[in-house]
Amino acid sequence: MRRRLIGLLALALLAAACTAGGGGSDKPAATVDPNANHAPLTLTVWSDFSARELGVVTAGLKMATQKYPWMTIKHVGSKNDQDIQRAVNGGTPPDVAISFTPDNAARYCDTGAWQDLNPYLQSSKVDKAKVWPEGVFSYTSFEGKQCALPMLTDAYGLYYNTDLLKKHGISAPPKTTAELADMAKKLTEYNPDGSIKVAGFMPLVGFYGSTTANTLSHAYGAKWYDENLKPTLTSDPNWTKMFTWQKAMVDAVGYDKLQRFAAKLGGANSEFSAQNGFETGKIAMMMDGEWRNAFIEGDKSKVNYATAPFPVDPDQPGLYGSGQIGGTIGGVPKGVKHPAESWLLLQFMTTDNTYLTTIAHGLKNVPSTFESLKDQQLQNDPRFKPFLDVFANQQSTFKPITPIGQTDTDLMNTFTQKWQAGKVPDLQAGLKQVEDQIAKQLQLG
């Protein structure tokens, strides 16, 4: 009986081992001659676009089928990274995968889940340095593998309410974080009961998705890792500077007051609604991505506003004009049936300037190639241009991507919540703790 049980267990373990984690292959493939005839082929694109945005991208993809008449594209929306990973694991990946989470690119490179595109780029004679600004490689490649390419991007900057600034006698947006703090103080208005009526600036990390420890750290040039992927939260003094500034901003108004104000605006859920604090004129200055322009228009907000790069550390004025960037990435998953054709489509989606500018207009995102950034319609929009410039700035980057994906930012966000609530008595000790936590997660891989 015991032998039988052991035998059964061994069999089951063997079955589990044999069936687990099946996937495709990494067979290299030649590229397709784009000018040659080709048998009709349907390619599937998965992305997390939905509703209006899905329609914009699907319409844009018709340009690919016009260019390559043999190609039929099936664009499937609402597919997040988990769906893509499951499909790759199941051996039925989409021909081209689009992800909104560049943090995962390192994992895709590391595991080979998305193919290294360098051989394809060489075969197709695409000179990366001439096509894309340097910053995009911070979130599309890992350890020499270029397993993703940018398809549009996001850039972060400062939105400011011109009416409110004018009302308080301020004529230009802040260029340093010290100026931002001074202006925020002037612009903050209170109700008779002491609660906030208008916030000059919302320094609470996590209140809206764009104000994160990560985006703020860029203003101080704080580095996450050294070249050996060792966390540098304590060794880089810019983290301490950034957190000290951010806490002073919170304390100037009061954590409790800010939280209640945020709640009255509708909390985190108001970010992508007409109740957004900036759109309703209740927040005078706010860090946000370029897409806010489209939301302000879509929500029919009457706010008079302008945009500028986000202010930077007064001791590092050279950083002004740069910011955090990073957005939609695309790749060819391993195990695709027609890798050369998949590459051709991905190449179109990431390098065809007409396609990129068309969907950039539709989505109000930053197009990602040097050439598409020159688009006159976008360049002539004074509210959009600062974001184009931020993206093109050589110092703009995404945070370094690692095989642990978003875990490092999650740990940092939790620390920041405690920090801004006044629960961290010793900043250095707190940062050391986060550093250790990230290092331990990296051990797990």
Partner 1 sequence: MATTAERPAAALEQASTAARRRRRRRAARHRQLVALAFMSPWIIGFCAFYVYPMISSLYFSFTKYDILSQPKWVGLANYRFMFTSDPLFWVAIRNTLWIIAIMVPLQVLFGIVTATVLTRIKRGLPFYRTVFFLPTMVPLVAAALGFIYILNPAGPVNRVLGVLHLPEPLWFVDPRWTKPGLTLIGLWGIGQVMIIFLASLLDVPRQLYEAAELEGARPWQQFRYVTLPMISPVIFFSVLIGMIQGFQYFTQAFVVSKAGDRTNEVGYPQDSLLFYTSRLYQQGFEGFHMGYAAAMSWVMFVVIMACTVVLIRSSRRWVHYQGGFR
Query: Which residue ranges make up the site for partner 1 (CB under 8 A)?
Result: 9, 12-13, 15-17, 19-21, 23, 82, 85-86, 88-89, 107-108, 111-113, 205-210, 212, 256, 259-260, 262-264, 267-269, 271, 404-407, 409-411, 413-414, 417-418, 421, 423, 433, 436-437, 440-441, 443-445
Residue 293 C-beta: closest distance to partner 1, Å = 19
> How far, in Å, CA of 92 to CA of 107, rounded?
19
CA distances from 322 to 277, 291, 350 (A): 25, 17, 23
Residue 20 C-beta: closest distance to partner 1, Å = 5
Residue 13 C-beta: closest distance to partner 1, Å = 5
The structure tokens listed for 153 are: 């991007």
Residue number with CB closer to partner 1 (280 or 409): 409
Residue number with CB closer to partner 1 (328 or 357): 328
Instruction: Tell me the DSSP string of 303-339.
Output: --EEEEPPPB-TT-GGGBTB-BB---EEE-BTT-S-H
Largest CA distance in the chain: 88
Residue 133 C-beta: closest distance to partner 1, Å = 26
The structure tokens listed for 106 are: 């390192």
Residue number with CB closer to partner 1 (114 or 355): 114
Residue number with CB closer to partner 1 (174 or 289): 289
> How far, in Å, CA of 223 to CA of 210, rounded?
18
> How far, in Å, CA of 194 to CA of 26, rounded?
63
Main-chain dihedrals φ then ψ at residue 71, nearest 5 degrees: -95, 135
Residue number with CB closer to partner 1 (55 or 266): 266
User: Strand order in 196-201's β-sheet?
Assistant: 189-190, 196-201, 283-289, 156-161, 305-308
Residue 29 C-beta: closest distance to partner 1, Å = 20
> How far, in Å, CA of 319 to CA of 218, rounded?
9
The structure tokens listed for 270 are: 């108001």
Residue number with CB closer to partner 1 (62 or 86): 86
Residue number with CB closer to partner 1 (255 or 370): 255
Residue 159 C-beta: closest distance to partner 1, Å = 16
Residue 337 C-beta: closest distance to partner 1, Å = 18
Helix locations, 112-236, DSSP H: 118-123, 128-131, 162-167, 177-187, 213-218
SS3 96: strand
